[in-house]
Each structure stands twice: as C-alpha cells, then as structure tokens.
Amino acid sequence: MICAVDGYASFVLIPHVNRQEVHAGEAKDSMYFDEEVDERAQINVSPVNFFVPNVDHYKHFGASTRQKVDLSVGDCLFVPAYYYYQMIGFVYLETGVLQP
C-alpha cells in the first residue's frame, strides 16, 4: 500500500506475467543496478524506465500491459504482489512550484 502524504506521485504498474517484456534480471547495465546488493536479489529488477522507455533497446516493452496511476494528497494505491512498478514523486515548494 502506497499513500501520498504530501505532493503528488505518478506510478506505472506492470503485472508480473510481463516479466520478459520488462527485461527483468537484465539490470546489471542499468541505472537501477546496485553493486552492494547480491545479484540474485536483483533478479526481478527491470532496467527499463517505465515512464520514458527506450523502445529501440527494449523492443519487447511495447507489448507489456501497463497501468499509469496518479496520486494526489490523501490518495492510496495498492500494488499487487510481484508487480513491477516505478514512481515519480513531486512536492510543492514554499514558492508554490512543483518540484520532482
């Protein structure tokens, strides 16, 4: 369960049945790879940016089933087990400007 307490958040969710389409387990060459974490623990990490996918490099991603959800303050989102998801969060600064 994810709730927006302040600001706004956008999520892209992809069901676990689209494992091949999100190129899970290929994160070693991506910005999401963490060298301090055992590689086996990152088997379900996707190297694809769900918001701006590189469809030339990840050709199968276009065939995935995606759901985009935007949360406002007070909204909550249930993420089903084993789903792949990425989020972008935004908060208002004191000046009233939206900042990622």
Whether 44 and 84 have beta carbons less than 8 Å apart is answered as yes
* Confidence at residue 41, expressed as pLDDT on a 0 to 100 scale: 57
Q: Which of 25, 68, 72, 34 is nearest to 50 (CA)?
A: 68
What pTM value is reported for the model? Answer: 0.75
Q: Minimum mean pLDDT among 6-10, 12-16, 73-77, 92-96: which range? A: 92-96
What confidence score (pLDDT) does residue 46 get?
Answer: 84
Q: For residue range 64-76, what is the model confidence (pLDDT) as tens digits?
A: 999 999 998 899 9
Q: 2-11, 36-45, 51-60: which has the minimum mean pLDDT?
A: 36-45
List Cα–Cα distances, 16 to 1, 29, 65, 68, 95, in angstroms: 17, 21, 10, 15, 40
At the fourth CATH level, which superfamily is domain 2-99?
Cupin (2.60.120.650)
User: What's the rounded Cα separation, in Å, for the pair 51 and 2?
Assistant: 18
Q: In the structure, what pLDDT confidence band is assigned to residue 45 with cuts at 50, 70 and 90?
A: confident
